Amino acid sequence: MSTAINFDADMIRKYDRHGPRYTSYPTAVQFNSEVNSDIYIEELTKSNQSNKSLSLYFHIPFCNSLCFYCACAKIITKKPERSIPYLERIYKELRHQSALISPERVVEQLHFGGGTPTFLSDEQFEEIFDNIRENFNLAPVEEREFSIEIDPRAVRASTIPVLRNLGFNRISLGVQDFDPKVQKAVNRIQSVEQTFDVIDSARAVGYKSVSIDLIYGLPCQTVDSFKTTLDLVMQKRPDRLSIYSYAHMPHKVKSQRTLNAADLPDAATKLAIFEMTVNYLQNAGYVYIGMDHFALPDDELTYAKQNGTLQRNFQGYSTHADSDLLGFGMTSIGQINDCFIQNQATEDAYFADIDTGGLAVTRGYRLNKDDCIRRDIIQSLMCQNRVSINTISNRYQINFFEYFSDEITELFPMVEDKLLTFNEKEISITRAGQLLLRNIAMVFDAYIEPTNDKTLKNKVIFSRTI
């Protein structure tokens, strides 16, 4: 099966609009305060009947310095001791959630994100794992997928082997861009050497996968400068690459106001960088997994895409289907059955809730039947690049063509533009349509204003396609 995609600049320009990246459906914009700790307890208790495996997410919000483009939930501080009271709350939360979970249930997947997880000391990582092991049943080593985001600027040489000993087998490194001019503009100075040292050390101690994150569309970037970054990255041939489009939304992200907007590449340059990157990575042998993600042909993500088991989740893509996700720490998101749950967004509110009741759920969303149907379609488009009409019709006992008559009408121009094909059995995305996955998925999103890309609501909330 060919995994190549076509870069059609005219089509990308034509369909460039504001829209979600669909790490969930419905997106977090729909979360509301009707979902609280009581609902979460109800859902957790109910979920034990299924005995599904578990995925744990830990949000470590601390960073030593501010990268101006960053829209993550973070706390900038130079004081390592800030993490001590935070971890105390994480341990309380672990105890509280584990008391509600059947001890039979096994943790197969675990992820530390941030912020900067490596803000923590080696001893703190060991302490967290003591707490995790006391409260949860970890899967046998060969069945685990334990991953962590690493900031090469903020990691001690000892930490990489310590994390490996604790069972981590995947790391993802924030790089964004190696060009000194770009690094200065975004306030993230990171040398090639310190990045390569982390990769070498991870490989030396047996991590299964190294992933690198880059961002295009940052200030001062050009096609040539970004190509130089790719040339450098290729010296280490990471197993996976995430290439994100920078979303300049200063009305939402305060630190982005610090960037000099005049330094941002214009739309044509940004598109040219993206085109160069897609072609570069394909020529280098990488497979396009979907929405910003590339992987080597022998990576598990590539196999999962080929055999239909790929999943889209809050971390991007995953090979682990059908786990319940438990979140720990401020802003963390969980998913139990057909319900999303999110923790308090600020450290103070998170501490106050954990101290009072052991949980810090502030909002979430319970999917209804229509949401579930649309979620399955969007997942299928994002991961398998096709939707089986029979599967959806049988699973939900609907007449697909009647149920989605408006959406089908909306798909016709995309068929004419050769982004997808459509018959009575399936919707299938073409090679040219793969870079416009989110536009195709948006047709099935009940919460997106269907009219056009000028819609103010979509504009304020979501980034552009490119």
List interacting residues with ligand SF4 (CB under 6 A).
63, 66-67, 70, 72, 74, 114-116, 151, 174
Instruction: Quote the least distance from Cβ 421 to ligand SF4, whole Å.
Output: 39
Between 70 and 382, name the residue whose CB sits nearer to ligand SF4.
70
The residue (of 76 and 296) whose beta carbon lies closer to ligand SF4 is 76
Beta bridge partners of 377: none
Q: What minimum distance in Å lies between the beta carbon of 66 and ligand SF4?
A: 5
CB of 244 to ligand SF4, least distance (A): 11
Q: What are phi and psi of 225, to 5 degrees?
A: -65, -40
- Name residue 311's amino acid: Q
- If one counts every other C-beta atom within 10 angstroms of the C-beta of residue 261, the result is 10
115: left (phi over 0), alpha (psi -120 to 50) or beta: left
In the bound state with ligand SF4, the residue whose beta carbon lies nearer, of 8 and 151, is: 151
Task: Report the residue number, 60 or 389, with the smaller CB distance to ligand SF4.
Answer: 60
State the minimum distance, in angstroms, from the CB of residue 254 to ligand SF4: 12
Query: Which long-range CB contacts under 8 A does 70-78 form with residues at least 24 apart?
Result: 70/253, 70/255, 71/247, 71/249, 71/252, 71/253, 71/256, 72/114, 72/115, 73/115, 73/330, 73/331, 73/345, 74/114, 74/115, 74/116, 75/115, 75/347
Q: How many CB atoms lie within 10 A of CB 91?
A: 18
Q: CB 312 → ligand SF4: shortest distance, Å? A: 22
Q: Is 38 exposed, middle or buried (0-12, 13-18, 19+ CB in 10 A)?
A: exposed
**What's the CA angle centered on 338, arms 334 and 343, to 5 degrees?**
25
Q: Which is nearer to ligand SF4, 174 or 327 (CB)?
A: 174
Give min distance, CB of 407 to ligand SF4, in A: 36
Query: Cβ closer to ligand SF4: 20 or 114?
Result: 114
Where do the H-state alpha helices sit in 238-368? 267-283, 300-307, 347-357
What is the gyration radius of the CA atoms in the chain, in angstroms? 22
The residue (of 15 and 246) whose beta carbon lies closer to ligand SF4 is 246
Alpha-carbon distances of 112 from 54, 69, 96, 157, 175, rounded to whole Å: 15, 21, 19, 18, 17
Q: Closest distance between ligand SF4 and the C-beta of residue 222, in Å? A: 22
